[in-house]
Homo-oligomer: A and B are copies of this chain.
Amino acid sequence: MSVYDVIVIGSGPGGYVAAERAGSLGKKVLLIEKDQLGGVCTNWGCIPTKSLLNSAKQYRHALESEKFGVSCSNVVFDLSIAMKWKQETVETLRSGIQFLMKSNHVDVVNGEASLVDERHVAVAETVYEGEYIILATGSSPAVPPIEGVRGENVVTSDTILKIEKLPESLVVIGGGVIGIEFASFFSSVGVAVTVVEMLDEILPMMDGQFAKLIRREMKDVTFHLGSKVQKITADGVHFVDAKGIQAFAKGSMVLVATGRKPNLKGFEALQLATTKAGVVVDEYLRTNIPNIYAIGDVNGKSLLAHSASRMAEVVISNLFGSKSMRMRYHAIPWAVYGIPEAAGCGLTETDAQKQKREVLTAVVQMRANGRFLAENGKRASGLCKIIVDAHTRVILGVHLLGPYSSEIIPAAAVMIEAELRIKEAKEIIYPHPSVAEIIKDALYAIDQTV
């Protein structure tokens, strides 16, 4: 049995990137995947949902473009075709990952891995040896013990991607990113959607003003905030609302989107330190066992595909690369691909208050932005909020709500990562007209000096 330089367990955006980078450096790499290459992100997460949301967006465009001079009739949304397109996208990307593994000489084994000891991993009868092991097993939908949660009408973010026809009505339990993206999709294609959220506001990572505006923009969705679900029945969800009143939301289908739990199965043989959030890691993504690392959702640090990929780079750099790196979390953007989109990077005002950090902030409306206006009109909603350190004047956070937010936010990520001060950031030139120009307007709203 030959020894691998590194064994990676799990082939999501953490695992496959780790395998790819190590392989590209000429290392001997084994990648173990129990299901499909690409993990949740490619198969049941980021990619399929964005494919469906794009279909929904095209449907809304077809319905709502008369003002732009485009009329049509008999607009029909066909879920089966949208699902077929989604599936093609997923399969193309999966083959892409397969190709990447091959071209970087990564051995790929299909099966469920279990740790035997610090250097050995078993898949069925075979045991592999690795100098280092990277745990990248991801997370799964957490299904809380609600009465009726095993009912036939109840789906998770995994199983909802297999439905063959649109439900008549949908209740989404949980107003996080996953819940809101699905609510946006189903509502956009004409399903009556109700969101029941336990907290006082949806999308907790987001600035409160933004979350409120997103709710307002999701006109056809009914929101019940501060509401506690009691039971799920065949026709919907019973809950106690924010005023303590017993209430009911009708739904022929119920999506449980109440969070995710780390996939820790197979780690039992070792004394791996874990918490409810996942495997405990330090800033180098090291677990308590010296040659074992944990990246992505399984360490619970930042449940985002691109965080997992970045963690992969950090680990591979530290193991085999040119540079010792720590995993930093201050410039990781996030995006919600609803209709409208939202994205952010860095601190919110609430974060700053919690950290007792003195900041300057400004919020500007997109309504005065040329491209936004040309493509959306003056009654559409869009915001940009910027948070700047009051003393150093370094940019700490940028938050966007409006079209293209997810593609604009990288500019903010660069500013935050490069620690630009407001004076320097104001010198950046944006193409005109672009929605991205709103960042400059927000910077000037904080500091008018030239």
19-60 of chain A: CB within 8 A of chain B: 21, 24-25, 41-42, 46-47, 50-51, 54-55, 58-59
Query: Is B77 a contact partner of A75 (Cβ separation < 8 A)?
Result: no
A342 to chain B, nearest CB (A): 11
State which residues 354-372 of A face B: CB under 8 Å.
Answer: 368, 370-371
In the bound complex, how far is the Cα of B80 from the Cα of A71, in angstroms?
A: 12
Chain A residues numbered 321-359 whose CB sits less than 8 Å from any CB in chain B: 321-323, 325, 331-335, 343
Q: Are B77 and A74 within 8 A (Cβ)? A: no
**Cβ-defined contact, A41 with B432, below 8 A:** yes
Residues of B contacting A70 with CB < 8 Å? 55, 58-59, 62, 75-78, 82
Q: Chain B contacts of A427 at CB under 8 A?
A: 310, 313, 325, 417
Q: Is A404 an interface residue (CB 8 A)?
A: yes
- Chain B residues within 8 Å of A81, by CB: 66-69
Find out whether the CB atom of A71 lies under 8 angstroms from the CB atom of B75: yes
Cα–Cα, bound, A93→B433 (Å) = 12
In the complex, what's the smallest C-beta–C-beta distance from A73 to chain B, in angstroms? Answer: 5
A408 at interface, CB cutoff 8 A: yes
A449's partner among B25, B50, B69 (CB-CB below 8 A) is B25
Tell me the bound Cα distance from A374 to B313 in angstroms: 25
Q: How far is the CA of A13 from the CA of B62 in the complex (A)?
A: 34
Stretch at the interface among A124-132, A137-145, A300-308: A300-308
Q: Does A92 contact B (CB under 8 A)?
A: yes
Are B76 and A74 interface neighbours, CB within 8 A? no
Whether A3 sits at the interface, judged by CB under 8 Å, is no
Q: Which A residues from 426 to 446 make CB contacts under 8 A with B?
A: 426-437, 439
Contact present for A368 and B96 (CB under 8 Å): yes
Find chain B residues with CB under 8 A from A88 CB: 377
Q: Say yes or no: A407-B433 contact (C-beta < 8 A), given A69-B55, A82-B69, A414-B415.
A: no
- Least CB distance from A83 to B in Å reads 8
Task: Give the distance to chain B from A29, nearest Cβ to Cβ, in Å.
Answer: 13
A46 to B431 CA separation, bound complex (whole angstroms)? 10
> Quick check: is A247 within 8 A (CB to CB) of the other chain?
no
- List of B residues within 8 angstroms of A21 by Cβ: 448, 450
**Which of the residues B74, B410, B426 comes within 8 Å of A430, measured between beta carbons?**
B410
The answer to whether A378 has its CB under 8 Å from any CB of chain B is yes
A-B contact list, 12 entries, CB within 8 Å: A46-B433, A59-B69, A69-B83, A69-B84, A71-B74, A72-B73, A73-B73, A89-B374, A317-B450, A331-B428, A408-B408, A410-B430
